[in-house]
Amino acid sequence: MNKVLAHWNQLSEEDAAQEILPCCGSVSWARRLVSRRPIEDEQSLASGSDEIWNALTSSDWREAFSKHPRIGERKAAETAGVLSAAWSAEEQSRVMTAEQEVQFALAEGNRAYEHRFGRVFIVCATGKSANEMLEILRRRLANDDATELREAAEEQRKITNIRLRKWLHS
C-alpha cells in the first residue's frame, strides 16, 4: 500500500479530512471520502472520490470552486490552504509566461464569467496553454447556467484526481 494512503487511513476523522481537503475544497467531499476508509489503493481512492463528487450538491461544488484562484492570478483565495495554493500555481504555470495581451484577456474573461455565473471560472489547467484556456473560457461564457455548472464540476473532478495523485506521491 502507498505510504501516504496507509498513514492517512490511520488518522483521526478530523485530521484525515484536513489532510485530504487541499485536493478538493469541499468539506462534504473530504468527510465522505474519510468515511470510506480504509482505502486500499490509488484506483479505489480515485473511483471513490469520483462517486462522492458526482453525488454532491451544487452548493458543495461551489464550495470547492471557491478555493481556486482565477486563471492567471498569482494568489489563491484566502480560504485555500497552502498546499492547494501551491498546486494551483503549478497547474497554471503556463499562464504566467503568456503574452501580456493574453493575460489581460483572461482577466477580462474572468470578470465576465464571474458576473455571468457568480463564481470563479474552473478549468483543469494542467497541460493547457494560456491561449487554450482563453478559448475554453470564451466558449463556456455562452453556456446556460445548468450546463456551465456541470462543465465546471467535471473540470473540478479532473483537478481533484490530479491532486490526489500528487498527494499520494508527495
Q: What is the pLDDT of residues 39-89, one digit of tens each?
A: 999 999 999 999 999 999 999 999 999 998 888 775 545 555 677 667 766
Cis peptide before 22 (omega within 30 of 0): no
pLDDT of residue 88: 65
How many whole angstroms separate alpha carbon 72 and alpha carbon 103?
6
Rounded distance between C-alpha atoms, residue 137 and residue 28, angstroms: 28
Residue ranges of domains in the chain? 3-168
- 101-113 per-residue burial string, b: 16 or more CB within 10 A, e: under 16: ebbebbeebbeeb
pLDDT of residue 70: 85
Eight-class DSSP state of 23: G
pLDDT confidence of residue 93: 63
| Cβ atoms 163, 76 nearer than 8 A | no
* Least trusted range by pLDDT, from 10-19, 25-34, 88-97, 143-152: 88-97
C-alpha cell read off for 9? 487511513
**In the prediction, which pLDDT does 73 show?**
72
Contact 25, 159 (CB under 8 A): no
Q: How far apart, in whole angstroms, are the C-alpha atoms of residue 31 and residue 144?
A: 31
Q: Determine the 3-state secondary structure of 74 from DSSP.
A: coil
| Listed range (15-29, 30-44, 93-107, 146-160) with the worst mean pLDDT | 93-107
Instruction: Return the CATH fold of 3-168.
Output: UraD-like (1.10.3330)
What is the pTM assigned to this prediction? 0.89
- pLDDT value at residue 69: 85
Q: What is the pLDDT of residues 91-105, one digit of tens each?
A: 666 677 778 999 999
Question: Residues 143-151: what's their mean pLDDT?
Answer: 98
